Amino acid sequence: MIIEQFINEKTTQISAYVKAVLEQGIHYTELDKFIVDVMDEWTLLNVTEETPGNAQERVFWHIVHEISLHGAQSLSHDLYLKSEINTCLDFFAGTGSYPIDCIGWRPIP
């Protein structure tokens, strides 16, 4: 799988997971598990370049890092984080602009 395919697939999936957590459709631990699975799959791609290929990928990694740092449970309690993540989801959906404070870098194993 090439990186662009991976990011496109995972962007769709992370959007669905985050929305489900925000709507209390799934438990936040499912999102945490998804993030762990994404990181496991990412290591299989043997990526050596740190710089994301496009804005979508930067926003994707920003969400992954924020959820990893704060935990998916924070989406329910931290209004700033919730707003920031919603801005990212709007960008993915094409209904919002690039998030101002978005700093997403590829993790390098």
Decide if 35 contacts 92 (C-beta within 8 A): no
Tell me the residue ranges of DSSP E strands in the chain.
none
What are the residues whose beta carbons fall under 8 Å from the beta carbon of 52, sequence distance 6 or more? Answer: 58, 60, 61, 104, 105, 106
What is the per-residue pLDDT for 1? 62
Closest listed residue to residue 22, CA positions, set 93, 90, 75: 75
109 residues of the chain, pLDDT tens digit each: 699 999 999 999 999 999 999 999 999 999 999 999 999 999 999 888 888 889 999 999 999 999 999 999 999 899 999 999 999 999 999 999 999 888 889 998 6
Residue 21: what pLDDT? 96
pLDDT of residue 51: 82
Torsion of CA 1, 109, 28, 26, to 10 degrees: 10
| Predicted pLDDT at 108 | 83
Map residue 107 onto helix, strand or coil: coil
* CA–CA gap between residue 100 and residue 49 (Å, rounded): 23
